[in-house]
Each structure stands twice: as C-alpha cells, then as structure tokens.
Amino acid sequence: MTQEPAELLDETDAADALGVMPRTLQAWRYSQNAVAGPAWVKLGRAVRYRREDLNNWIEENRRND
C-alpha cells in the first residue's frame, strides 16, 4: 500500500490558510513556547507546513468560551 505524500505549504501559503502574516509564523517558530504555533518541517533551508498539521493545530486551539 502506497501512502500519498503530505501536502506541504510554504510559509506564505500557510500564513494565508491561517489568516495571519508570514512574520507571525516566524515569531511562533522562534518562540521559546513550543506550542505557540503549528508544527513545521525543515527541508534544507526551506520551512514547510503540512496542511494536516495546520488543521490539527486549529482544532487543538478551538475555544467555545
């Protein structure tokens, strides 16, 4: 059984999907708080975000207050 590769988004597309600026994603990555933002992947010098990780992060941070 072959597994489909994960859809990887660059920083700009990931920021658009979350409705934030790319600089916000950068700040979250450099934050000492590991749970500040969604998981990311480093491929050489490129930073990528799996769409699945973005969706999971959104669900984990959903509030009903």
SS3 string, 1-13, reads: CCCCCCCEECHHH
pLDDT tens digits, one per residue of 10-37: 999 999 999 999 999 999 999 866 568 9
% of the chain at pLDDT higher than 70: 89
What b/e readout covers 26-64, taking b as 16+ CB neighbours within 10 angstroms? eebeeeeeeeebbebeeeeeebbbbeebbeebeeeeeee
pTM here is 0.83
Burial class from Cβ neighbours inside 10 Å (0-12, 13-18, 19+) for residue 8 reads middle
Q: How is residue 37 annotated by DSSP? A: S
Q: Which residue has the higher pLDDT, 61 or 32?
A: 61
